[in-house]
């Protein structure tokens, strides 16, 4: 009996130690990212993803970093490398966590990177898929502020592109800001971005 208790304690302490290492590594990566050491943060997330094969979060953040780096990129070769890496890691995240609204939103963001680079070439290919992804994410998690905001922001951008009135979407984005105030991420490691961007969009609505 004593041996069983000791083995159980060792297993529990081992699990806690592993969780602690994961959390410490993730926090370190976030700190590097916050200090604008983006490449170092990305490398840290990659090391964590290789060590913690059942965790979707490091893959998600690698995808997000490469998506963010790809805005306003003019060189198709640079864009392709970054977005292919983003897609590879997002595919890994999806394999670990299916029907995850945060991952679905990030997939839509990556497709939007392509449309933003060349709407004439990639709009036909991805625009419909992006709308479908946001609708799917919204069906899964209508109270998630990133889902609500990103869905409305995409619809607003589409309306603007086609010369339609964008005002109807301003109220939807205002509602998403209310969701940011009450939404609680699963942990301090889970996605919690979007509020500043939503506030900027709402401000532009009033100008």
Q: What is the pLDDT along the chain (207 residues), one digit of tens a residue?
A: 444 444 443 444 444 445 579 999 999 999 999 999 999 999 999 999 999 999 999 999 999 999 999 998 999 999 999 999 999 999 999 999 999 999 999 999 999 999 999 999 999 999 999 999 999 999 999 999 999 999 999 999 888 877 888 788 889 999 999 999 999 999 999 999 999 999 999 888 876
CB 49 within 8 A of CB 59: yes
Q: Based on the domain organization, do 63 and 89 belong to the same domain?
A: yes
Instruction: Kindly state whether residues 115 and 66 are assigned to the same domain.
Output: yes
Both structure tokens of 182: 């009450």
Is 136 domain-assigned?
no
Is the residue at 24 inside a domain?
yes
185 and 198: one domain? yes
Single pTM value for the model: 0.88
Are 186 and 173 found together in one domain? yes
Q: At which of 81, 97, 130 does a domain end?
A: 130
d(CA 196, CA 118): 26
- Domain containing 100 equals 56-130
Q: Which residue has the tokens 């970054």?
A: 82
Same domain, 126 and 64: yes
Indicate whether 165 belongs to any domain: yes
Using DSSP, state whether 54 is helix, strand or coil: coil
Q: Check: CB of residue 198 under 8 Å from CB of residue 149.
A: yes
Contact 47, 59 (CB under 8 A): no
Is residue 173 situated within a structural domain? yes
Specify whether 146 is located in the same domain as 108. no
In this structure, is residue 135 part of a structural domain?
A: no
């Amino acid at each position: 009996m004593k041996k069983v208790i000791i083995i159980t304690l060792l297993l529990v302490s081992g699990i806690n130690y592993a969780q602690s290492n994961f959390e410490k590594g993730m926090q370190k990566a976030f700190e590097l990212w916050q200090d604008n050491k983006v490449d170092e943060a990305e490398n840290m997330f990659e090391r964590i993803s290789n060590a913690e094969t059942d965790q979707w979060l490091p893959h998600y953040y690698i995808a997000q970093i490469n998506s963010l780096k790809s805005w306003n990129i003019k060189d198709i070769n640079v864009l392709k490398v970054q977005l292919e890496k983003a897609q590879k890691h997002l595919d890994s995240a999806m394999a670990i966590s299916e029907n995850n609204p945060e991952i679905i939103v990030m997939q839509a963001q990556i497709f939007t990177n392509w449309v933003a680079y060349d709407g004439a070439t990639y709009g036909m290919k991805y625009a419909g898929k992006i709308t479908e992804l946001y609708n799917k994410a919204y069906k899964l998690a209508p109270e998630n502020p990133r889902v609500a905001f990103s869905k409305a922001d995409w619809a607003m951008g589409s309306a603007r592109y086609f010369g339609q009135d964008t005002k109807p979407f301003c109220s939807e984005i205002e509602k998403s800001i209310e969701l940011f105030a009450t939404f609680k991420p699963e942990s301090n490691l889970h996605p919690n971005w979007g509020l500043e961007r939503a506030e900027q969009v709402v401000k532009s609505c009033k100008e």
